[in-house]
């Protein structure tokens, strides 16, 4: 049997809709393809993850326990099922088609389709870090960044807090050709962001560092930032709000994502005195654009 027709594994579980952000973010780190169904009558959402290699049960339990704790629910039960042999490479490529998000054309190396004229290509492969662009929270950020650039918002220095694959930092570098500090607490994400910056020919603009939040000298040295983007779930967004305000330029703008629509008011309130000037809703998720001056030119959406 060749590697191209290896057996695959499916992880299945159900979680309450409010716990989806934390659980999805945890499962994305497994590097497989995620399929999320609609909520049933009890508000439970079915999630399946398709993986090329069997996940370690203990690792999965620990991941889900941490996500459940963050979401305030009981750790969900899950199943791991071995699927019949299939062409896994083709399957994973089918699960990760090229996508259009604002001015961007996000694709892996397997995509033959050329970028549409005028689109900005972002090459991102499926990996152990979150951020292929297929998740609504990432797509919302890409669309908000496109809107800000279209509104001619000047950005001389930017920060991507929780960079994952580096997709948003790379997008910013391509839009504004400015220095971007990209931060992640996860060593794999830091390595992949640096690698992806090279693949996308923007390594000269990115400074990728490993840190928990804003506690890194490079982050302090780069401040104040004209743009801070953070796609890291509602709770950490609120916890990091005072740091964000300290590092944002007075006329700067923040793009926040990783929140469900019904968490938007809470996250927006945490960022006061910053005000929400635009929203990008996608499915159950919403991306917020915030600025100190509510009358600042808002991106057109």
Rounded to the nearest whole angstrom, what is the least distance from the CB of residue 144 to ligand SAM in the complex?
11
Which x/- pattern over 14-53 shows residues binding ligand SAM (rule: CB under 6 A)? -----------x----------------------------
Among 167, 227, 244, 286, binds ligand SAM (CB under 6 A): 167
Span from 173-181, 183-191, 198-206, 247-255 in contact with ligand SAM (CB under 6 A)? 183-191
Quote the distance between the C-alpha of residue 182 and its chain's center: 13
Helix axes 167-176, 187-199, angle to 10 degrees: 40
Please give the span between the terminal C-alpha atoms of the chain, in angstroms, as a whole number.
Answer: 50
Which x/- pattern over 194-223 shows residues binding ligand SAM (rule: CB under 6 A)? ------------------xx----------
Spell out where 17-77 has E strands.
33-36, 44-51
Rounded to the nearest whole angstrom, what is the least distance from the CB of residue 210 to ligand SAM in the complex?
8
Span from 68-76, 83-91, 107-115, 230-238 in contact with ligand SAM (CB under 6 A)? 230-238
Residue 51: name the closest of 7, 94, 17 by CA: 7
Rounded to the nearest whole angstrom, what is the least distance from the CB of residue 137 to ligand SAM in the complex?
6
Rounded to the nearest whole angstrom, what is the least distance from the CB of residue 13 to ligand SAM in the complex?
18
Tokens of 182: 């990209």
Does 130 engage in binding with ligand SAM (CB under 6 A)?
Answer: yes
Question: For residues 245-264, which are near ligand SAM according to CB under 6 A?
Answer: 258
CB within 8 A of 164, min separation 6: which ones? 129, 130, 131, 138, 184, 189, 192, 193, 231
Round to whole Å and give the CA distance between 185 and 190: 8
| CB atoms inside a 10 Å sphere around CB 43 | 10
**Contact residues: ligand SAM, CB under 6 A:** 25, 129-131, 138, 141, 162-164, 167-168, 183-186, 189, 212-213, 231-232, 236, 258
């Amino acid at each position: 049997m060749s590697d191209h027709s290896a057996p695959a594994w499916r992880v299945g579980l159900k979680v309450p809709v409010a716990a989806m952000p934390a659980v999805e973010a945890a499962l994305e780190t497994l590097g497989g393809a995620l399929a999320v169904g609609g909520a049933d009558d009890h508000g439970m959402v079915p999630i399946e993850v398709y993986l090329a290699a069997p996940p370690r049960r203990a690792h999965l339990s620990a991941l889900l326990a941490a996500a459940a704790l963050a979401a305030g629910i009981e750790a969900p039960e899950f199943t791991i099922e071995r699927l019949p042999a299939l062409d896994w490479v083709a399957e994973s490529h089918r699960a990760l088609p090229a996508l259009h998000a604002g001015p961007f054309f996000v694709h892996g190396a397997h995509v033959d389709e050329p970028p549409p004229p005028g689109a900005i290509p972002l090459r991102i492969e499926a990996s152990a870090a979150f951020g292929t662009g297929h998740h609504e929270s990432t797509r919302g950020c890409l669309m908000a960044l496109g809107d800000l650039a279209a509104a001619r918002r000047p950005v001389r220095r930017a920060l991507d807090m929780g960079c994952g694959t580096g997709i948003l930092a790379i997008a910013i570098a391509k839009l504004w050709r400015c220095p971007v500090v990209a931060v992640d607490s996860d060593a794999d994400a830091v390595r992949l962001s640096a690698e992806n910056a090279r693949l996308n020919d923007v390594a000269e603009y990115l400074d990728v560092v490993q840190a928990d939040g804003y506690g890194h000298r490079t982050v302090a040295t780069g401040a104040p930032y004209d743009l801070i983007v953070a796609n890291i779930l509602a709770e950490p967004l609120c916890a990091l709000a005072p740091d964000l305000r300290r590092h944002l330029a007075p006329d700067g703008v923040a793009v926040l994502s990783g929140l469900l629509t019904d968490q938007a008011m809470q996250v927006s309130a945490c960022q006061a005195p910053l005000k929400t000037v635009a929203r990008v809703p996608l499915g159950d998720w919403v991306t917020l654009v915030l600025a100190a001056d509510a009358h600042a030119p808002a991106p057109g959406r």
